[in-house]
Structure 1
Amino acid sequence: MTIAGMPSEWADLIDPLVPEILNLVIASWEEMPSPTPDEKEDNITIALCRALMQNRTARGLPFQIRTQLVELEPIPGEDLGRLDIVFIPLVPREDIYFCLESKRLNVVKDGGTRAYAAEYVTFGMLRFVTGQYAKAVRHGGMIAYVLDGNVSRAMTNVEANIRKQRVALCMTATEAFLPSMVLKDDPRVRETHHHRVHETNVFRIHHLFMPTDSPQHQQA
């Protein structure tokens, strides 16, 4: 016998929303002005969140969109997390949400390019794996702002860092960067599977690599 409102039932609400959320994010990204090659992360996130909330499709979907939301009840030993973009279903539980954590990749400045792939893993993915973010649900998202437009290079750098951090990321020896099972036809989307210590279900991180219209990439 199940009881309405149990944590597992609330978590089930996220699963069918994931395809709609990912499609909405991609569509909104493509409608917003392209960031500069060294644009600050917070500025890009605010612009994307504004585009999301202005998107007509979002108005008919069963969730609210918030930015810079604080996770009030992290697991013991973890600091309060500040969630970049959060999609919140209309339920009376603050821990049921889809979090989209943002990171810059391939930042162009002073004539050089910095990958930031290690930071993507350490200060992004690991926060989901430890349960600092999204501890009560089975899906989370990473959005990479690829500021030189070179998605292939960004993916290669991130995948290399994922393999280095495989144990910390709670991934098996055979698991790596996988094609998305949600958006199978979009080469900019990947997913990774993680076996978090505080739960038995597999946790999935959906990775969106969103390129800018950077002159540096166009000239490559």
Structure 2
Amino acid sequence: MAVILLTLAAGWQRACAAEDVNANAGEVLMTERLRDGMRGALRNSPWKLIVLPGTESRSKASVVLPDGRTDIPLMLIEVFLRTQEHDPHAVIECKRIAGSDTHLCREYVVEGMDRFVREKYGENHAIGFMVGYVLSGSPSESADGVNAYLRRVSRSDCLAPSDISDGTWQSLHARSKPSMPIRLHHAFLGFAGTSASRT
């Protein structure tokens, strides 16, 4: 987990060096730049992690046609060599966010977090990852905005600060398999030179 969160942070730092990455850029461009930045950060790293392109995914083995598209799937070389498992070993879902924008906070939950909760992503995973591109305000204001939405819809699976990496949050969610909850790690990433820079 820590390796993935550290790679996200290093990748975002590299991504923000690109002239076209700012709060007005589209989510797809931000994700492409983040993916490239993560690959660059891993180039001289001892971590054996492969950052795959966004890919269609099948939520369950019984699903024949892809029913989702993961933003940033990750493969751990050691896991692949040991198991020959071709599905991603970790999934990162990316969304635009601003704590003051109730629509974006709702989308972060419904079109992001809930894809893991409903097992559309990471059905066999106990851990998933979310990235929030902070368009305005601070990362902590974005986490507060997501929590405000969750409380408004009477959900108790709120975000709490994580002790794994500074500036990250985590949440725990029950899923349809009672014995298989999922813990999501959230990184809210701001843009260099704005009030939304990473904290």
- Which TM-score tier does this pair reach, normalised by the shorter chain? 0.7 to 0.9
- Specify the SS of the correspondent of 2:115: helix
Instruction: Find the aligned partners of 1:121 and 1:178 in 2 and give their Cα distance.
Output: 15
Coordinate RMSD, CA, aligned: 2.7
Instruction: Verify the 8 A CA contact 1:148 1:216 in the aligned structure 2.
Output: yes
Q: What's the CA shift string for 1:59-103, capped at 9, x where partnerless?
A: 532231112111135376896110000111232113451111000
- In structure 2, the partner of 1:120 is 108
Aligned residue pairs, count? 187
Instruction: Verify the 8 A CA contact 1:95 1:135 in the aligned structure 2.
Output: no
Instruction: Find the aligned partners of 1:215 and 1:152 in 2 and give their Cα distance.
Output: 14
Instruction: Verify the 8 A CA contact 1:75 1:131 in the aligned structure 2.
Output: no
Offset of residue 54 of structure 1: 1.3
- In structure 1, the partner of 2:150 is 162
Judged with a 3 Å threshold, the aligned counterparts in structure 2 of structure 1 residues 22 and 58 are, in CA distance, closer, same or farther, namely farther
- In structure 2, the partner of 1:53 is 39
- In structure 2, the partner of 1:213 is 192
Judged with a 3 Å threshold, the aligned counterparts in structure 2 of structure 1 residues 69 and 79 are, in CA distance, closer, same or farther, namely closer
- In structure 2, the partner of 1:28 is 11
Instruction: Find the aligned partners of 2:142 and 2:118 in 1 and give their Cα distance.
Output: 24
TM-score of the two chains, using structure 2 as the length reference: 0.82
Does structure 1 residue 85 correspond to structure 2 residue 72?
A: yes
- Specify the SS of the correspondent of 1:101: strand
Structure 1 unmatched ranges of 5 or more:
1-17, 108-112, 168-172
- Specify the SS of the correspondent of 2:131: strand
Instruction: Find the aligned partners of 1:127 and 1:56 in 2 and give their Cα distance.
Output: 27
Offset of residue 32 of structure 1: 2.4
- In structure 2, the partner of 1:19 is 2
Judged with a 3 Å threshold, the aligned counterparts in structure 2 of structure 1 residues 126 and 57 are, in CA distance, closer, same or farther, namely same
Does structure 1 residue 106 correspond to structure 2 residue 106?
A: no
Instruction: Verify the 8 A CA contact 2:73 2:91 in the aligned structure 1.
Output: yes
Give runs of aligned pairs for residues 3-14 of structure 1, distance below 5 A. none
Structure 2 unmatched ranges of 5 or more:
none
Does structure 1 residue 44 correspond to structure 2 residue 30?
A: yes
Instruction: Find the aligned partners of 1:126 and 1:40 in 2 and give their Cα distance.
Output: 22
Instruction: Find the aligned partners of 1:96 and 1:132 in 2 and give their Cα distance.
Output: 13
Pair member with larger Rg: 1
Instruction: Verify the 8 A CA contact 2:189 2:196 in the aligned structure 1.
Output: no
Q: Percent identity?
A: 23
Candidates 164, 170, 173, aligned match of 1:182: 164
Offset of residue 117 of structure 1: 0.6
